[in-house]
Amino acid sequence: MYKHPRQKTEAYTLPPFEASSVGKLRYIPAHNSLKRSAHEDTSGSCVTDDFNDKIKELETVMMGPDSLDLVFDYNDSFDSTSCQETNSWRSTLEAISRRDLRADLVSCAQALSENDLMMAHSMMEKLRQMVSVSGEPIQRLGAYLLEGLVAKLASSGSSIYKSLNRFPEPASTELLSYMHILYEVCPYFKFGYMSANGAIAEAMKEENRVHIIDFQIGTQGSQWVTLIQAFAARPGGPPRIRITGIDDTTSAYARGGGLSIVGNRLAKLAKQFNVPFEFNSVSVSASEVKLKDLGVRAGEALAVNFAFVLHRMPDESVSTKNHRDRLLRMVKSLSPKVVTLVEQESNTNTASFFPRFKETMDYYDAMFESIDVTLPRNHKQRINVEQHCLARDVVNIIACEGADRVERHELLGKWRSRFEMAGFSSYPLSPLVNSTIKSLLRNYSDKYRLEERDGALYLGWMQRDLVASCAWK
């Protein structure tokens, strides 16, 4: 799930591939458009011509030509045995064609995981006719899953993911607008911010000087608006607040400038509510943060916030530096009063390709369904929201490996082990946090659910947990 802008990657398209010989692939440019799903009904739709043009434009630059242009070299090595194998393969395809889109996506990923390139190619050709960026949730998600599969098939997912630039990065103001839409239509980010703020407010209720270190401050520092207001209303007056915001160039791009924009906004708000305030900016990637960057001062009660950021830190499976655990040990050495963790409840870090694909499809299927309830399919910006705020994560998880795969989610059980190994103990969330979030969810679909388990809060869509929040000391 897209949190706020992170690394700036080039926009991607779905490249076709041709086989110069069976089992060998060569990248060829994409030019034409994807066929819209034959099952998609646009009759009686209030979709405007501009919206239809947008769909056609996106599908043209994203999905490539009408077929995968799979050209096999029928040379002397292609004998009767090959023909028999091909007939068997076609029979399998006919059987598969009677299954649904989810099953076809899984079958394609399985063929790819088993290095069955002929089957994977043909499944992709079939899937191109089934997915649509303007269709049902699984059709829309399927378009991006298919894109990731094609890049993975090229055995160079990372280079393709980085190099393709057929659909330009939106202007910073546009990207900020897309993120704001997603923030408003889904409660996931508000849930995370509210639960973390509740834990911080509870831990700091007796403190007069508070220092908050945010390891990935949002594009506008939105999380801290409500906390500053809450501190302003505290009996006995507000504490003196200092916020250290850690950021990278991608977030700076999204908001159209550096951290000074966030600092100025929060300072103006604090002045309005008569809250003593100071902002400290650290313009580096969270994985590169050193103790000297944090500016910890004696006499300040320290809170550390990890909201949707730790899953992007390389761990022991990627680098011997293991920034994920290194950061936790460094933070523990500062003796904070409270540390908040908000993460997606998904398991994609060390999983091999095929189970990782299935997990990604299951997770984002729930996400796309939840968007569908609130944001109409004919909403002009919905495609942009999904493409720029979610699809990049999907493609990265599926197509990339090693250090290039930056979206590496873990389940809360694994995070719990990491925090405990670093010396932390659980900090129970206040019942007030639970009741406040329940009030928030009344503004959304009743398919959202909130559960408290083992001192942590889980926000889910129907039966799928999507975001987990907890606190540590």
Q: What is the pLDDT of residue 68?
A: 40
Q: Assign a CATH topology to domain 184-348+408-472.
A: Rossmann fold (3.40.50)
What residue segments make up the domains of the chain, in order of their start? 17-169+353-402, 184-348+408-472
Q: What is the pLDDT of residue 101?
A: 95
- Of 172, 164, 239, the residue nearest 200 (C-alpha): 239
- Of 249, 301, 313, 349, the residue nearest 6 (C-alpha): 249
Which residues on adjacent β-strands are paired with residue 468?
Answer: 343, 458
Q: Is 354 exposed, middle or buried (0-12, 13-18, 19+ CB in 10 A)?
A: middle
- Which residue is listed with tokens 């779905």? 14
Could you tell me the CA-to-CA distances from 243 to 84, 216, 257, 327, 444 in Å, in that order? 68, 12, 18, 18, 31
State both tokens at 332.
Answer: 């523990």
Helix axes 260-272, 223-232, angle to 10 degrees: 20
Q: What is the longest distance spanned by two Cα atoms in the chain?
A: 88
Q: What is the pLDDT of residue 411?
A: 98
HSE toward the beta carbon, residue 170, CA cutoff 13 A: 20
Helix/strand/coil for 409: coil
DSSP string covering 52-117? HHHHHHHHHHHH-SSS--------TT--HHHHHHHHHHHHHHHHHTTS-HHHHHHHHHHHHHTT-H
CA distance 291 to 312: 19
pTM attached to this predicted model: 0.80
CA distance 178 to 160: 24
Q: Any idea what the Cα angle at residue 188 is, between residues 216 and 331, rounded to 5°?
A: 30
CA distance 283 to 295: 13
Q: What is the pLDDT of residue 47?
A: 39
Residues of the chain scoring pLDDT < 70: 1-99, 155-169, 219, 249-257
Q: What is the pLDDT of residue 86?
A: 55
Contact 389, 180 (CB under 8 A): no
CA distance 170 to 387: 11
Contact 430, 199 (CB under 8 A): yes
- DSSP label at residue 349: S
Q: What is the pLDDT of residue 167?
A: 46
Q: What is the pLDDT of residue 367?
A: 96
- Which residue is listed with tokens 């520092």? 221
Q: What is the pLDDT of residue 14?
A: 40
CA distance 343 to 346: 9
